[in-house]
Every structure is written in structure tokens, then in C-alpha cells.
Structure 1
């Protein structure tokens, strides 16, 4: 029974460049509240650049992993024998020794998620303790993570957008793609050779102006439904929920990470990265002898 169902799912997943379902106007519809996309990605005054990269990178991982999880049962070894994207792009996996290997899409994506999870939980790379510094290679590590996560998005659009539509999650996928695209446009973190395969979607969603900067069009970011909140302001319609990246620390000594792209619009972008701050003694204690 289970095998028969898996066989049906495999046959329903067809990776083809034509037609591109994700470019059809019916699936480009989004609710666009009056908030400039640039407020989502511009580095706030006084905030460390690496902190900003870290907060967004963790959020991108969480949400792309979540989106892929909704359609992962349709991404099988036989249905997706290669890791492909639009324009018949094929991705090869490079191991720690630099050896490239052709692997099936689910295996490739498992490698991506495992590598990213291991990296963002490594205290020496994504520090959470006070006095632990970001490594000098931090930006290059972020570049690699975002490039790999982009590959996952490209594969979902190329091979599994039909399933995304059937699950009524296309508006949320588009919001996530918009956020990553604008973050990359702001900080130039992913090579244009990588992103060009979805440039037609960037144009269709009107994300960038002619100069490559953020457009005047507005959008909120990512999926309250995927974050577990189905009470959106759209009266039940597909909606991009509140904008922002929010990361907050727990009690000192026990930092917790909450990275969400589904923060209330009324709070704007509240970003306290997971990097722990030093304890401040109360004035009366500090002055006591």
C-alpha cells in the first residue's frame, strides 16, 4: 500500500522547464501592504553586520527547511534522480575534500540541511556566548549556506511547484523567495550565475528595479501558516504575514534562538541576534563595599 502511494507520488513529480507554472499570473498574486521591502533587509544602525547576517541566515534555513518538508514526500530518489533547477541546471555535491558527486535531489537536500544545521549550531562559527567572536571567514560561510539554500528553492520551483500549489502554499513560497532575493540584492552574497535561473520569477514578482536594487513595490515576508499561525489579516486568503526577522535570547547562560519571518507588522523589524550580552550588575550592588 505504502509502496503504491510512493510510486504515484514519484510519477506526479515532473521536472520540466515548460511551462513554468510559477510564472503564471494566478500564482503570482500576493497581498502587498504598505511597507517597503528594504526595511526587511537594510542593516539597522548600530547593529553588527555579522549579527545581521547570522539572524537572516538562521531564518532562511528554518523556513526553507520547513517549506521543503511540506513536499519532501514527493521528492524521491526515482522521481528526482538528479538535483536540478530551472533551465535544466544540474547541481553536483562537493564533499569536504572538494570531490564532486552526482546525487539524487533528496540526498543533495539532506546534505544541504545537515551541513547547515551543523554549521549554525557550531559555537565557533555562530557564537551565542558573550566574548565569543565571529570567525574572520564568517561571511564566506554565510555565502556558501545561502547558495546551497537557493539550490533547494530552485529545485522546489522547478520540480515541485505543482505540489506547493495543491497545498496552497505558493504565496508563502513566493514571500520567502522575495526575502532571500532582496537580502542578496542588498549584500551581494550569492553569485549572479547562481540566481540567474530564477531571474524571470524576480521580474514577474517585480522584486528589483532596473538597477538591481529593491523596487518600490512592497511585500511582507514569509508565511504565518508555515510558522503555525493561520489567523492572517487577509480574512483567510493567501497572505504574506508580518514582516521582520526576530531573534531573541533567553536567560543569561541559557540562550535560546527564535528566528521568525512572521513577526507582527506593528513591531517592525526587531532583531536581537542570538549572541549573548554581558550581565550588567545593578547600580546599588556595584557601588556597595
Structure 2
């Protein structure tokens, strides 16, 4: 048995509120003290405000790059416990599985590690493309940049959602919940401030709730996020 598989098994047996526990409705990330764990106190709106004299396109590009790098680092640590056997679908709640659009423009189910690998590879290629994310002096952002970066944001949101839903016990075992919560709260606040976030992707639609929707509401009540 691998290290992370043993972690997952022991965490499911020892911690209350695990999504797989019989009769328990609330996932771990909504339980105290985990939901309050954070490196940053107060409202994240102050962190995401556009600095004076900064170009908004550059500010968005730099932050998306940082979110990608940080999320990729977290996933790299958790990848061993996200397998085709443990995560046969890209789940974000008991009622929601994300699908991938293939080359034939068809929606297909993929195991979570395959889906995430596709997302991270696709996003990295975009970040490395000077025509999309220019880094050299004199280059300008294309007119399609806003729609492209919004698409990147939405896919990264799905990775966050899966990690919260399927791998939060491992995050707790590593004592990384303050870091992960702060990263995600920052990500949500930034997306809302710069209109990258479609609120229904967080809150879900009637009959198809998104697991992280409850986390959004809890942090809003705590004053971490704005309405």
C-alpha cells in the first residue's frame, strides 16, 4: 500500500465528518476548525485590488500564472492518491462530475487524474505562449485574452473543486489546510473582482449543487469573501 493510500484509509477511519461516513451530510472542509484555517485574516478583496499604475491585463496574467503554479504544486503532492481507481471520474460533489470536450467536440467522462493532467498541460502551454501571455516588452495582449483567461480560470476552479471533494483528508494529514484554504479564497476573490468567475460554477444550479458552493457561502458569512 502506498503512503498516500494509507493516509486516505486512516483519515477516513479516524476523522469525523468525512464525506464517506454513514449519516454525515457535511464534508470535512466545512467543519470547524478546518473551515476557519487560513494564513490570511480578513477580507480577501484588499489583496486582489489592482495596484496603482498597474495594467489590468498584466495584473490578471501574473495572478493567473501564480494560481496555476501554486495549484500545480499542491496537486503534485497529492497526485499519488488521485488515481484512476480512487477517482474514476472528475467529481466535485456526490452529484456532480465534470466532463471533458474531446477533439470531436463530444463531452466525455475521464478519470480525475487524466482530466487534471489535460487541464494542467493545456494551461501550461497557454502560459508559455507569448501570443497569449506576452512577457516581452512591446507585445500586447490579444483581444481574445479575456475569454481565454476566463476559460483557464474555470478549469482551475474545477481542479480546486475536485481536490476539496476527494482529497481534503490528505490535505489535513499534511497540515496544509491553512495554505490551501487561503489559496482558494484568494482565487475566488480574484475571480469575482475581475469577472473571471461565473458564480453558478461555484454555487451550482438547482438540483445539481456544487460542493464548494457551501464553502463559498460559509466564507462569505465569515467576511472572508464578498457577496
TM over 0.5: yes
Instruction: Name the residue aligned to 2:100.
Output: 93
1:120 maps to 2:134 = no
Alpha-carbon distance between aligned partners in 1 of 2:39 and 2:117, rounded to the nearest angstrom: 34
Cα deviation digits, residues 72-92 of structure 1 (max 9, x gap): 100000110000002521100
Structure 1, gaps ≥5 residues long: 213-289
Q: C-alpha displacement at 1:185, in angstroms?
A: 1.8
1:22 Cα deviation from its structure 2 partner: 0.4
Normalised TM-score (structure 1): 0.66
Q: Structure 1 residues 151 and 9 mapped into 2: Cα distance closer, same or farther (>3 Å)?
A: farther
Q: Bigger relative contact order, structure 1 or 2, given CA contacts below 8 A and separation 6+?
A: 2
Change in Cα spacing, 1:132 to 1:90, as seen in structure 2 (3 Å) is same
Partner of 1:22: 29
Higher helix proportion, which one? 2
Aligned to 2:118: 111
- 1:195, 1:38 → 2: CA distance? 18
Question: What SS class does the counterpart of residue 36 from structure 2 fall into?
Answer: coil
Q: Contact 2:153–2:196 at 8 Å: present in 1 too? A: yes
Q: Structure 2 vs 1, CA of residues 137 and 33 (structure 1 numbering), >3 Å: closer, same or farther?
A: closer
1:10-30 CA deviation, whole Å, 9 max, x = no partner?
A: 973897583300011111233
- Secondary structure at the residue paired with 2:105? coil
1:71 corresponds to: 78
Once the two structures are overlaid, the 10-residue window that deviates more, 153-162 or 123-132, is: 123-132
Aligned residues: 207
CA-CA distance at 1:195 after TM superposition = 1.0
Question: Which residue of structure 2 aligns with residue 208 of structure 1?
Answer: 225
Give the equivalent residue in structure 2 for 1:165. Answer: 172
- Go from structure 1 to structure 2 and tell me whether the alpha carbon gap of 1:172 and 1:34 turns closer, same or farther (over 3 Å shift): closer
Cα distance between partner residues in 1 of 2:64 and 2:125: 13
1:279 aligns to what? none
